[in-house]
Copies of this chain bind each other. A is one copy, B any other.
Amino acid sequence: MMHHHRSEDESRLERGRRALAEIDGEAGEKVVAALADIAPDFAAYVIEFPFGDIYCRPGLDLRAREIATIAALTAMGNAVPQLKVHIAAGLNVGLSREEITEIIMQMSVYAGFPAALNGLFAAKEVFAQRSAAEEVG
């Protein structure tokens, strides 16, 4: 399948898979699955570089890493699906709803009120899904 990837890369892939599962949970798996028919190699890259290389690095904990990612995706404002995945990831690694809301609100200062508003509405959706899942669970 991912024919361009040689066996020596396997441990980056394995390490990335563990990080992806820990951070993004099912949402990460869904993204990888959605790439299977169009760009299977890219599915590997998504696991290897961001998760196998970057998120696994010592020097910054996952909580801080998700603060950074939620802030950046809110400010950029053109990647709402990925922002939602990382708002959920933030909850997974221990950020509270209040902390996530504060991070997004703060982006009004650096990227304007529309970026912050659209980030807050994305968070509202993720929080509601989480609450619904918790009630069912």
In the complex, the count of this chain's copies comes to 6
Say yes or no: A116-B60 contact (C-beta < 8 A), given A54-B105, A68-B68, A71-B69.
no
Interface size class of A (residues with CB under 8 A): 35 or more
- A58 and B105 alpha carbons, distance in the complex (Å): 13
Q: Is the interface of A mostly helix, strand, loop or mixed?
A: helix
Could you tell me if A31 and B117 are in contact, using CB atoms closer than 8 angstroms? yes
Q: Please give me the residue from chain B that is nearest to A12 by CB atom.
A: B9
- Which residues of A are at the interface with B, using a C-beta cutoff of 8 A? 4, 6, 8-9, 11-12, 31, 34-35, 37-39, 41-42, 45-46, 49-50, 53-55, 57-60, 64-65, 67-79, 81-82, 98-99, 101-118, 120-121, 123-124, 127
